[in-house]
Amino acid sequence: MVLRGREELLWRFLDHVEAAGGRLVICGDLLELWRFRLEGILARHWKLLERLGDMGAIFVLGNHDAQLGEAGLDGELVSAFGGFFSRRREKLRMRVGERVFQFMHGHEVDPFIPERPTGFGKILGTFTGWLEFGEAGCIVSNDAVSDCLLEAGENLLSVWYWAGRKMRRAMRDACSLIDNEELAKLRRPLRTRRMLSRYYEDMQHKLYDVAIVGHTHRAGRFGGWYFNSGSWTGASNNFLQINPDGGIEVFDWTSEGAVVRQGGGM
């Protein structure tokens, strides 16, 4: 969920989407259920959820939203928020122009994320929630604390898995990705190479042409087939714009409006 102090920017962005006649697809981790209670989120952000429902926004679930499948969000809650929760999806595939786009959060191919929201990752999420939670939401101005702790956790997990079959298989799969100079520039290269290799494998099997994901909070692109929508809880507010011909641009949303993002940022 967007942090305190950015609500005005977010509402102006939603105005921008509506004025352009666009369709908003949210690529996961909107509610942050690893840290906050669902009832509190609904109470604090009902106006935003109502507007997203009225806009026809599609909500692709992330690993921090996965509990929605167990939360019983039916009946009155679905009706109360204009059908927003009824449009939640695990994945979304659609054709734009001549290409097939797959929208997903991205945790599905992350070797360090368990299938269920339990274990070390959730412990880290809960701990950072204690640091950031306040009556009005997050206290800190961005998610740097969470990112640092989660990245430390990833490093610990990488050491653990290195000695086991899972990490050896992840490294072997990553080698299937065609060598590219851009690989050397990646942040968190071990994790990101593994994830990119999975997207690349999907495309080789003609499952889709372009992967649109979130998860890593790193807005940017890799080649012409991987695009990350970034985050609204970091140093900048990011989004992707997909044009009717299937072309894609990476933007930051600022007080001056949309600004084309420079560099890959991954």
Summarised one tens digit per residue, pLDDT across range 92-118 is 999 999 999 999 999 888 766 655 545
**Which regions in the chain score pLDDT beneath 70?**
1-5, 69-80, 82, 111-191, 263-266
pLDDT at 174: 52
pLDDT at 238: 95
pLDDT at 138: 39
pLDDT at 146: 56
Topology classification of domain 7-260: Purple Acid Phosphatase; chain A, domain 2 (3.60.21)
H helix intervals, the chain: 7-19, 38-44, 46-55, 76-80, 120-132, 144-162, 165-174, 189-204
pLDDT at 21: 95
Burial string for 198-219 (b: 16+ CB within 10 Å, else e) reads: bbbebbeeeebbbbbbbbbbbb
Percentage of the chain modeled with pLDDT above 90: 33
pLDDT at 111: 67
The CA distance from 51 to 31, in Å, is 15
pLDDT at 91: 93
pLDDT at 132: 43
Summarised one tens digit per residue, pLDDT across range 123-142 is 555 555 454 444 333 333 44
For the chain, domain boundaries? 7-260
Q: Which two tokens stand for residue 100?
A: 């097939």
Handedness of CA 181, 183, 186, 189 (dihedral sign): negative
pLDDT at 98: 93
pLDDT at 71: 53
Q: Would you call 67 exposed, middle or buried from its count of C-beta atoms within 10 A (0-12, 13-18, 19+)? A: middle
pLDDT at 266: 58
CA of residue 41 relative to chain centroid, distance: 18
Helix, strand, coil % in the chain, rounded to nearest 5: 40, 20, 40
Residue 64, φ and ψ in degrees, nearest 5: -85, 0
